[in-house]
Chain A
Amino acid sequence: QVQLQESGPGLVKPSETLSLTCTVSGGSISSNDWSWIRQPPGKGLEWIAYLYRSGTINYTPSLKSRVTISTDTPKNQFSLKLTSVTAADTAMYFCVRVIRGPWRLDSWGQGILVTVSS
């Protein structure tokens, strides 16, 4: 059974860069698609980025100019960088495995709360 674990700083200063890593166990990141999703406090889920196993990456339009996804295949990890953060980026961040045919987000990490504050 695949397991995902987010890691990174829980506190980021405004205008700085938020950096998170998702470590995958029980499955290879090369064999699946992956996503980052976030949930601001008191709000709903928001898709951030989608990493296809082919290496193609899609970003949600509202964050596209600030987001970068990268992978580290030997470590079985993928990462999220979000630049120029503001308080609006305060959220619980989840890394997720995506299954296609039919699509579904079938395995989620526990999530990591990132607060943007000085």
Chain B
Amino acid sequence: QSVLIQPPSASGTPGQRVTLSCSGSISNMAIYTVNWYQLLPGTAPKLLIYDDNQRPSGVPDRFSGSKSGTSASLAISGLQSEDEADYYCAAWDNLLNGPMFGAGTTLTVL
């Protein structure tokens, strides 16, 4: 049962900038950093952002993350067709004593 709240869907056109949101609580995002993962059908999930706004090597700088309090965002600029995927936010949760995920946002590139 997810306690990180994400909108179920988002969309944008090629070249556009889109922002995906993630809302948490005092037991997770208020005290722990946020990660973002990209899930494409048939491929292993990919870490996009960690520590709120850090990109692992190999992740394009079109992807950026931010957090304020218990709200986090993933921004994708210069949207491309290959960005069409499911995106999940995650944060450690004190009550769960483990990682908590959002329900995911399906991004459609129109």
Q: Which residues of A contact B (CB under 8 A)?
A: 35, 37, 39, 43-47, 50, 58, 60-62, 94, 102-106, 108-111
Contacts A105-B37, A106-B56 given; does A45 touch B92 at CB 8 Å: no
| Neighbouring A residues of B102 by C-beta, 8 Å | 44
Q: Using CB atoms, name the residue of chain A closest to B32.
A: A103
Q: Using CB atoms, name the residue of chain B closest to A45.
A: B101
Could you tell me the distance between the alpha carbons of A104 and B90 in the complex, rounded to whole angstroms?
A: 9
Identify A47's interface contact among B33, B51, B100, B104, CB under 8 A.
B100
Cβ contact within 8 Å between A47 and B99: yes
Could you tell me the distance between the alpha carbons of A60 and B96 in the complex, rounded to whole angstroms?
A: 7
Query: CB-CB contacts of B26-47 with A at 8 A, as 1s and 0s?
Result: 0000001101010100011111
| Neighbouring A residues of B90 by C-beta, 8 Å | 45, 105
For residue B103, CB closer than 8 A to chain A, the reply is yes
| Neighbouring A residues of B99 by C-beta, 8 Å | 35, 37, 47, 50, 103, 105
Could you tell me the distance between the alpha carbons of A45 and B97 in the complex, rounded to whole angstroms?
A: 16
For residue B2, CB closer than 8 A to chain A, the reply is yes
Cβ contact within 8 Å between A58 and B98: yes
Q: Shortest Cβ distance from A105 into chain B, in angstroms?
A: 6
For residue B63, CB closer than 8 A to chain A, the reply is no
Contacts A44-B2, A104-B35 given; does A61 touch B43 at CB 8 Å: no
Cβ contact within 8 Å between A104 and B98: no
Cβ contact within 8 Å between B96 and A47: yes
A104-B51, A106-B47 given. 18 additional CB < 8 A pairs? Answer: A35-B99, A39-B39, A44-B2, A44-B101, A44-B103, A45-B90, A45-B104, A47-B99, A50-B98, A102-B54, A103-B50, A104-B47, A105-B35, A105-B45, A105-B90, A108-B46, A110-B43, A111-B44
| Neighbouring A residues of B92 by C-beta, 8 Å | 103
Could you tell me the distance between the alpha carbons of A12 and B91 in the complex, rounded to whole angstroms?
A: 31
